[in-house]
Structure 1
Amino acid sequence: MNPVMDVIIIGGGPIGLACALEAKRNKLHYLVIEKGPLVNSLYNYPDNMTFFSTSEKLEIGGVPFVSNNIKPTRNESLEYYRRVTVANELKLHLFEEVKTLVKENGQFTIQTTKTNYTARNVIMATGFYDLPFLLNVPGEDLPKVTHYYKDPHFYAFQKVLVVGASNSAVDAALETFRKGADVTIVVREKEIGERVKYWVRPDIVNRISEGSIKAFFNSTVASIHEKTVDISTPEGLITIDNDWVIAMTGYQPNLAFLERIGVELSDDTIRKPNYNADTHESNIKGIYLAGVICGGMNTHSLFIENSREHAVKIIDNIVSNQGC
């Protein structure tokens, strides 16, 4: 039988690892459970991605992050968080998904795809990258449609439709274009988003202006077919030839899981979880929220750089409550 732990941390991303570092420093009996690889969300970022934040703003636990340039790449961040994990001998179980979480007699029973655990406290640091927003149009389930983008070479000399105007969409459009793809971008708004990285936005705007990348603004995908895509535009329905659809429509946190375990959510469209801003403890005593999930559907309000402090607040509160 597994011993009762002081804290189970669900989610092995940067904030989950930051919580683990604080738990270890305070000599708590802890474990990180991650359903994918280490820092799963970052692993699923595009291979050539460069962060908007500088390396020092991505640091956790006071461990320096040294990168080749001011703004680190995806590969540098993977190496950094792996080295932090190894150097600190953090305890974690990867490729193990939490299925249920139940509180009984002041303790939590956590059932995963591999075993059961018991803990006095639980930290939810599950991020928001696992559940894409769907287009909800006919043909979205075709094999040619993806909500994740990794490498541009795959799309060389193909007709590619990119949906969205975020950083991810713009990166996919520019990179596949430069590998020889015939790229069309569909944007619901009237222009490329203002949140796009400032050194990238002029590039995509210029490529659209010169016609190298075709763009439909104030438009949406109506339906997807084996060899074509129908687009609803201000001028009416347009059909274009197509081989692949990269739908970079954004992602959402798993708020349904929070609801199932009893965490209260706001009634508005943000659906922000109920938690104490000073301690990050939810309405359920012993369940804490860390990282992006604290913002509910407002996933643009919290990042690694302004969520790192959550770990200190949470562990300080757990230690105080346990009288450690």
Structure 2
Amino acid sequence: MVIIIGAGPIGLATAIALKQRDIPSLIIDRGCLVNSIYNYPVNMTFFSTSDRLEIGNIPFISHGPKPTRKEALEYYRRAAEHFDLNVNLYETVQTVTGGDGNFEVTTNKDTYKADKVVVATGFYGQENLMKVPGEDLPKVLHYYDEPHRYAWQNVLVVGGGNSAADAALETYRANANVSILVRHDTLKETIKYWVKPDIDNRIKEGSITGYFNSEVVEIREKEVDIQTPEGLKTIPNDFVLAMTGYRPHFGLMQELGIELTEDELQMPVFDDESLETNRKGMYVAGVVCGGMDTSRLFIENTRVHADHIAKDISKSVAATL
């Protein structure tokens, strides 16, 4: 039995690759199926074409040239159903004791025996906090949903990447009074090519107020203090959309005994071919392998992890026969 922690696309792909080799698995996730994609903005469109998001050789057909969040949710749900994967949702892994061939995985609901463990927890579950007074107010959101609720409200979007640009443009077009605050002197060049001119022009014409080289100082019920190159400013505010990015669950990896690099990337240490970590019998898969380098690994270029891991585990199984 292999236990896979994380029911994202790569966790599902790993379970499929194992099943194709007649190796049973159980996927455990603290949220819903493909929880990260579920938390994407409702109207989000992927960078990639649908074929590059496919798992298990199941065709992913989208209505447009690039698939939507809704289409991806349905696709991965159908893939899990097609392969009849064993998935436990809304269950949190707490400890993994024992060793290779004899792991014991304890969750908030049960305890399971496992020969191998695969960690495929992604990086979308831990938001990067601003660490300022008032960040815990209900009006501060780290996951943007959809624009309707922000109509005629004073909205401050914090961040300079894709999520921030999308949130600013959508809420602006829902008649919100939108400001965007960026720590650097410009928005990121990695913003989707069809979005970048739009957000740049809205800021240039003043439809969206841009604050660059600026930071949030304090958030209160009806206003926000921001530090700008011109000094401290207080602006009226009803909602703060903190699109400040996310990070892997480093605490869980450390609790599991996975060694992390000592640089700022904090990448898990693993074998490049098998993806086995320093803890024998425990593997990492998917974007979690990149640590804080969250712009290098995606579904498209980590799908191969599933076959690498399944191949290595199948060799181990064969050796015990």
TM-score when normalising by structure 1: 0.97
- Whole-Å separation in 2 of the counterparts to 1:154 and 1:9: 37
Q: What letter matches 1:173 in structure 2?
A: A
Q: Tell whether the 8 Å contact from 2:27 to 2:87 is kept in structure 1 after alignment.
A: yes
Say whether 1:163 aligns with 2:131: no
* Alignment match of 1:129 (pick from 124, 127, 130): 124
- Whole-Å separation in 2 of the counterparts to 1:255 and 1:225: 30
Tell me: CA distance 1:270–1:38, structure 2 relative to 1, closer, same or farther (3 Å): same
- Whole-Å separation in 2 of the counterparts to 1:154 and 1:229: 19
CA deviation vs aligned residue, 1:100-127 (integer Å, no higher than 9, x gap): 1112474111001110001010000000
- Whole-Å separation in 1 of the counterparts to 2:100 and 2:266: 29
**Structure 1 position 260, deviation (Å):** 1.3
**Structure 1 position 192, deviation (Å):** 1.1
- Whole-Å separation in 1 of the counterparts to 2:21 and 2:87: 17
- Whole-Å separation in 2 of the counterparts to 1:35 and 1:106: 24
Say whether 1:13 aligns with 2:8: yes
Q: What letter matches 2:286 in structure 1?
A: G
- Whole-Å separation in 1 of the counterparts to 2:138 and 2:256: 34
Say whether 1:315 aligns with 2:305: no
- Whole-Å separation in 1 of the counterparts to 2:77 and 2:237: 39
SS class of match (2:115): strand
TM-score when normalising by structure 2: 0.98
Q: What letter matches 2:224 in structure 1?
A: V
Q: Tell whether the 8 Å contact from 2:42 to 2:146 is kept in structure 1 after alignment.
A: yes
- Whole-Å separation in 2 of the counterparts to 1:185 and 1:259: 35
Specify every segment of 5 or more residues in structure 2 that has no aligned partner in the other structure, as ranges.
none
Give 1:293's aligned residue.
Answer: 288
Q: Which moved more, 1:255-264 or 1:7-16?
A: 255-264
SS class of match (1:139): coil
Give 1:245's aligned residue.
Answer: 240
**Structure 1 position 130, deviation (Å):** 1.0
The percentage of aligned residue pairs carrying the same residue is: 55
SS class of match (2:224): strand
Give 1:192's aligned residue.
Answer: 187
Give 1:270's aligned residue.
Answer: 265
SS class of match (1:9): strand
Give 2:199's aligned residue.
Answer: 204
SS class of match (1:79): helix
* Alignment match of 1:102 (pick from 75, 87, 97): 97
Q: What letter matches 2:253 in structure 1?
A: L
* Alignment match of 1:216 (pick from 191, 211, 214): 211
Give 1:254's aligned residue.
Answer: 249
Give 1:182's aligned residue.
Answer: 177
- Whole-Å separation in 2 of the counterparts to 1:271 and 1:84: 32
Q: Tell whether the 8 Å contact from 2:45 to 2:68 is kept in structure 1 after alignment.
A: yes
Count matched residues. 319
Q: What letter matches 1:207 in structure 2?
A: R
SS class of match (2:251): helix
**RMSD of equivalent CA atoms:** 0.9
Specify every segment of 5 or more residues in structure 1 that has no aligned partner in the other structure, as ranges.
none
- Whole-Å separation in 2 of the counterparts to 1:92 and 1:279: 24
- Whole-Å separation in 2 of the counterparts to 1:309 and 1:29: 19
SS class of match (1:312): helix
CA deviation vs aligned residue, 1:200-223 (integer Å, no higher than 9, x gap): 010000100110000001111111
Tell me: CA distance 1:107–1:91, structure 2 relative to 1, closer, same or farther (3 Å): same
Give 2:297's aligned residue.
Answer: 302
**Structure 1 position 279, deviation (Å):** 0.4
Deviating 4+ runs (over 4 angstroms): none
Give 1:115's aligned residue.
Answer: 110
